[in-house]
Structures are given as C-alpha cells and as structure tokens.
Structure 1
C-alpha cells in the first residue's frame, strides 16, 4: 500500500503509526531498560536461591534415604528373637547357649557384610549377655557380659532408653564406646541407636543398640553439592550444633549463634565474618536437623554489572531499530492482513492443508501461527475421529475373541469337576495334561494369529480332554490339507465349533458318535468343516440359529454368533459360517475364510 498523497502525508495513518510507534517504543525501551536491570538483579538472587534450595532438597532426599536404610537395619536387630533370648539369658542348658550365640554371630555377620560400611555394632544387654561386632578386632564378633551400670548412666545411653524404641541419631563424631586402638579413637563415625524391648514379655527395655557407621557416604553427598560457586554445606541442629560437614572445609564460629526461621525450608540472608551470605536450609524429616548451604552473596550477583552495560547498549540499539520499524510498519501493515484473508478463503473452501508461511515475528506472525495451528488441529480432529472408529472395531474384535476363549475354559473346568466326582481320580491326569497343553497353545506368546498346523494341534488338545471324559462315546477323524498347514488363521475360531458338535450333537446321541473334522483348500480360501452324526437340529430351530448369527444384542447361540462376528470383523462380510442339519442324521458346520500367508 502506498502512503497517502504528499500534501496530506502529515495526516496519513502511516505517519501517525510512525510517530506513535517511535515515541512509545523509545519511551518503553528506556523505562524497561531501567526496570529490567533492577529486576534482573532481584531475579538473579531469587533464582540462585531457588536453585540452591532445590539442590539442598535433592541432597536432603538422598541423605534421608541413607538414614532410613540405617534405621531399617536397626529394626531387623530389634525384632530378632534369638538375640532377645541371648540378652535375657533364657537358655535351657550350655549347649542351648552355644547354639544361640552361633546363630546371633551368623545373623550379625551377614547383616554387616551386606553393607560394607559398619564400623561397630554394640548390643548392650541389661540381664545376661552383650554383643559387639567391630571391624577393628580380629575376631569381628565378640560376646561380652551384661552392661555395666555406669555405662547406662552416660548421656547417650539415657537418651536411647528414654526414646523407648525410637531411633536416636547422634550424627558424626567420635565413638561413644571406643575400642583400644589408635585408628579407632581418631576415626569419626556416624552413630545412632535405639532401645531393645522384650517382645515376648511386657515390652520392657532389655538392652540398648549403638550402631556406628563409616560416615564417608554422608560426607560424599555434602561434598558433591554444587552451587555453581564457592560455598559450604553442612548438617546442624536448630540449637546450632554441627552434626556433619565436608571434612575438607572449615566453618565459621558464628554459625553456632545462627538463628534460622522455624519454617521447614527456605532461604535466609545473614552477615558472617563481615560478608553477606545467602543461606538455604531444609529440615530433615523426623529430626531437628537442618541441611544447610551457605553461599557468598557477591558471587550470586556478579553478572549484574555485565547486564547493566548490556542494557545500555541494547536500549540505544532499540532506538535505532524503532525508527526503522516505525517507517516499515506504516508502509507494510496491510500486507499480512491481505495474506490472512487469502488463506482464510482457501480454508473456507475445504482445503485444510494450506499453511501460511511464517515470514514475520510480530503480532501478525503470531496470528499466522495460530491460524496454522487451528487448521492443523481441525484436520487432526478429523483424522482422530477416523482412528477412533478403527480402534473401536479392533477393541470389539479382541473382546469377542476373549469371550470365546472364556466360554471354552468354563466348559472344560466343568468337565474336570464332574469326572472327579464320578471317577474319583481316574482320567483326571489325562484331562489336566490336555488342558495344560491347550492353555499353552492358547497363549502362544499373545499372538492372535497362528498357523493352521498350530490350530489343528489346539483342537486335538481339546479333543484329548473330551475323549477322557466321554471314553468311547465318539470317534474322531481329522483331515488336514498339507498345502494350507502354514497359512495364518485366527487362533480361537475352530475349537468352539468342535465343542458345539460334541455338547449339542453327540452327547445326547444313543450309541457311538462320529466326528469328522477337515481343513481343506478351496479356490483361494480355507474351508473348515465339522460334521457329526448327532441328534440334528429341527428345521425351525435351524432357521432361528441362522438368523441370530448376524445379531449382537441377544444371548442365544453365543459361541457361533461370536465366531461369525469375529470372522466378519477380521476378514470381511463375505466370509462366515454355514449350518446344515437334519434331525436324526447329524449336523455340518462350515467356515470359509481367506488364505493368509
């Protein structure tokens, strides 16, 4: 579009757009430059605190998993009955004591060896015996006398007893019960304990467990916490006592006087050693411990100086760009409108494959993209509706197959039930073998299609079950065309037809029944036939069966109706079942399906 004539240029919409765009953009850039710098400093600090808090949260979860695993170990010891017997001294004789000691030794040794982090395990009994396992001693497991009364008066022991079976965590420090070894005395351990109660009596305290573990795994987590800048991570009580820290760092003394908020987690600013620090903390579940990270504030906002310089240059660049864009906007504002109208007309005519090229990055570009997304979504919904119909058809097919399979299983189980009552135990093994073979073939790795040869084997497995039930009630002749043995067919089409011939044709027959089953190739398809010399079907009932094969809302002729529906859903409406019968002569059921390689 051309601008208006030169004499009215100052009143043209193009010039007004130019002035408005230039002034508004220049003013906006100046204000936003100032605000963005101010806000960016605040956002950087806030984001750094959030990232640091997320890091602390992840580390706390890892530490909590470790501590929970330690607690679970102590729970196993708490409920070990042989250990309770050893502590209380409930032995019948000396040999009983020796056996009990050996059992406890094996239990504790296996428990310790399952995790190679135990330094020592002290089980202090109040009545008869105490036990200790330590990696320092050469024997490992040691049997000790009952607890010395002075030991029970120590603060750590009293705290465990007062907890009444709950875990008491002491943190990382030196051992409360050191062994006379320089290596042991100078080695920090993570200690926790719990009272041992008499589970066979009134629940009174019969001893104390003090578990000491190598703190390397806890220290490793503290050491691996990375705030992308220099900082410290440690575990402390709300009272200010340090529970654990990275051995390679030294913490300021002012931390013992640090008063953090009562919240379970958060950030906190404090001045420590003359420097502003950002402190992030999270309370560890079930304790009064806090996982704390401490980062110098200056390291978090060091990028703001670069942002300030960048903002000034960016503002100047935007002013220049504003002049250019103001002129271009007035001249070419009409082009995207006409482009949109053109493609809207194409869509209205039914062409949903059109797409507006994304050549702009302004509001019109967003409008173009929204228009493209809208057309794509409309086309997608149309396609989804088509796919849903296909899925509905497939689901119906699978449901029908499942119903056919269940129908056979119910009849087979019923046969096994009655034979077991009539014959007590004879023939049951034969039927169970046939049933297991049938189920194995039925599963066939979840495949819906099997070869004709596999389908024949499936029918023969079923016949072996029925022969065991009916004994000499009927004879079977099976004919299989060798040229179709490896063609693919639906798995559960054939057995229900054979089942119907036995139950409805031969079972009520006086004398010996004959069953002829065949799979033969006919033209380009497979003809499956089941013929019996049973009682036959009256003409009116036969017509009723034929009419109900195509219906889905009635309960009669359940098996045949489902098979016929399954054939038509899978292979097409031109395929299906054919029934011929004469009273006193017998019945013939034929199935014609296409050959599938």
Structure 2
C-alpha cells in the first residue's frame, strides 16, 4: 500500500512537470524560432534599404554627367586609336576620360567607369593606363557579354544592374563586380549615342549583407529580378542561376514582399527568410539551420531539465513524506482494528491530532466504546433472560403440582364455606396461570392489567380493608405489546415500601395512558414516601450501567431491561415526598410487530 501510494504520488507530481516541461520547451523553441526569423527578416529589410540607397545614389551621381550635352557630343565622336588618329581625337578622349575619372571618384563604391560607342565599337575606361580598349580586350570583358545579351533582347534603352566577373587586369584585381548599364540618349534627337557602364565592387554588397548574424553555418545571398545570384559568400556562384543550386528558391521567386518558411536541406531543417526590394525587385535571402536559430532555447532546455530533476528529487522526497504522513496514522488505525478483531476492546487510540485522522481516531474510539457497552448490555440482557428462564423452568417443574394443590384447597374452602380462602386461592391460581403459562415475555397491555389485578386482589385479602386500588387504562393501547415484567415490580414496591409502612389506609392509583406515540405507565401511592437522600441514591444507581444488585434490584432490573429492549428510547422518573407518598412514571415507545421482533 505504501509503495503504491509512493509511486502514485510521484507520477501525479512528476508526470505533469514532465509534460509541462516538454510543452514549454517546444513552445519556447517555436517562439524563439519565430522571433529570430522575424528579426532576420527585419535585418534583410534594413540591408535591402542600405544597398538600394547605395545603388540609387550611384545612379543619381551619374545623371548630371550622362545628361551633359558636351559629354554626349564627345562620346559620339569617340574613335579607336589607329593610323588616322589625330590630336583632336586625343583631346576628345582626354576630356571624356577626365569626365569618367571624376565620376569614378564621386563614390567610394565605384571601382571603374566605362563609356562605349556602339557605332565605332569603342570603349573608354576610367582605370588603368590605357585610354581606350582594343576590340579584342573589349569583347573579352565578362560583363560586356551581358550588354550584348541586353542588346539582343531589345532592351537597350533601359538602365539595368547586373552581376559579372571583372576584368582583373584593369580593375585592381576586384574579381566580382556589380555593373550598372545606362544607355546614353541624345537629349536632342532621342537616339542612343553610347552606353555607360558603372562598376562597383561586389564586396561592398557582401559586406553589408555580412553584418547579419546568421550563426556558424548560416549564409545569405542576393538574386536579381531574373533569378541570377548577384552577391554570395561563395563567389563562384555569382552570376549563376539561383534555382540551379537552390531549388527551394522557385517557391519564392515570384513572391512579393518578404517572409520566411521552413525547408529541409540535406535532411536538416532550415529557416529561409527572404525580402524583395521594392525598388529593383531583387530578393535578399538568408538561410540558417533551425538548430542554430533556436540555440537560445538550449538554455531553456537545460533549465527545464534542472527543474525537472529537482522536481523529481523533491517529488520523491515529498511523496515519501506525504505517504508517511498518510500511512502512519492508517497503520495505527489498522493495528487497533486487529486488536478489536482479536477481541481486545480495551485498546483505544491515544493521539493529539486535530485533522481528519484525529476525527477518525475519535470516531473509532467512540465506536469501540459503544461496541464494548453494547456487548456488556447484551451479556447482561442474556444473563437476566437466562435467570428468568431458570426461574420459569424451576416454577414449571412444580406447576402441575401447584395447580392441583391450589385447586384442592379451593374446593375444600368451598365445602367448608370459607369464602376468603376460596377467593384468595382463586386469585392466586389465576395469577400463576397467567404469569407462568406460554412463557412469552412480550404480552398485551390488557394481559399486564389482568396480571396486576390478580396480584392486587391477593394483597387486598392480606391487608383486608387497608388497601384500595384504582386502575385506569386507555382503551386505544390495550392491544399494544410490552415487556411482561416491567410493571408489576413497581406495583410491588408501592405495596411493600409504601402502603405497608404507612399507618392507616393506603391508596394506589395505576394509569396506562397514550402520550403522542408513547405509552406512559404511572403508579401513585399515598404511602410512607422516600427520603430525599435515598431518592438521590436510587436515581444515581439508575443512571449507571451496572448489573442489578442490592436494595434497588427491582428498579435496576427494570431499567436494564428497558435500556436493552428500547435502546435508550425510554424514561423512568421517581418523585416522592417523605410521609406523603411516591409516584413512579415510565415512558416507552409504541412498537409494531416488526419492531418488536427486531428488539427481541
């Protein structure tokens, strides 16, 4: 029992802590992941704004120069160096180079500026010692092929940013660049007279994106509106189609705005955050493993494990103490129940508890006390019953002899005409016949009245004219059944202790009345009465549960019979004035046949 209580309490305490811990950990992990992803998305927005501002500033810087009428005129006159190259051509090239050289220094992000005349297939550059690229060098520029592609697509009039590999020879070994392609349109004719290429170092973009905290293995990259990687930690991927390396990009390539979603990469869950630039339509993408994103939850996990361990230890300890608190008083109760089982009713539980167990102990002690009292009462009742049965058996031995003898005396008194003796013998014979016949202890009130009448007839003959009797019976209770031997002893006491000690005539009044659902039997005499001190002694004896002894045997016997038969639902009262008389009153409940059988 104790082990089961210990296990049950431990489960009740520890299991909810375990479930709550798992829920808190999973919930906190999800919240941390959500908040971290939202933070990365916000960082992408900031990075996008910074890069957009940088690129837009470069575009704004180039506008005044590219729209300059003198600059456009000189671009249209740009020629390759050849045998016919004149000093005037040299001056044009120097002026143009001065223009684009100043432009390249207008922003720290610009690495080089190229101006191209498509009609003469001539390229002027701002960096290096060469003024003009040869046709061979021009067509070998990696980003120049992008221009050719743009030209073939018929979008030459639109400005565009694209990523490419730089010409290492002429751009200070900046291997990867972001190139701004800007057609030069004659402000007078509206015709394209040339193209400007403004190159910035991709490292500037990468540096801004690298400011985001993406854990140990997280990374970010930038793709343009056509899905081409523009910036990446792995420089070899710049200029490549993003979907070829990151298939999951296809799910967001057409998405606007930003957000994040989860995706398994190499069987490991990753959180992919993205944001679309509203200015250029480029997508900023950050990829980070969920395990790194939620690394802060490991502290929560460890804390929960510590709490769980402490809860486990405290739960076991608490379970032990609580089960001990419960089991110890239960063991005490069980041990005393074993005493009762073995017949020991004197062993009461000694305690000082005021809780529920204390209440149970008190009720147990009370139950044992009542059980002990009931057993003693049943024993006494059986003892009295056996005594009465022995007396009845003893009387029945000589019953026929007594009846025959009394009958003989009766007829002899009739022959010799002695009427007093004849009447006495007749009453005595009837009295014995009613008292001894059938052996029933439960009789009707009418039979009790008849028995008392025969007894008083005998006493009247004995006391001659000294005794007068009045018996009153409520007809509604004549059929009620009562104990046969409750009433005559009280009448006997009235005769022997009252009338016999009185000088002069004596009077006894006997009443059987119905009071509510109870029977009241009252005997009043005008005899010698009882002294107050003796009356108090008698009443104290009646309050005790001792066996009947001594002078008050009759009253104690009556009291014991009523207590056993009526289960304390009775009353007995004695009032007396010394020299004037005594009144004895009994009140008992009216019982039906079923209740009579149960009481017997």
**TM-score above 0.5:** no
Give TM-score, length-normalised by structure 1: 0.41
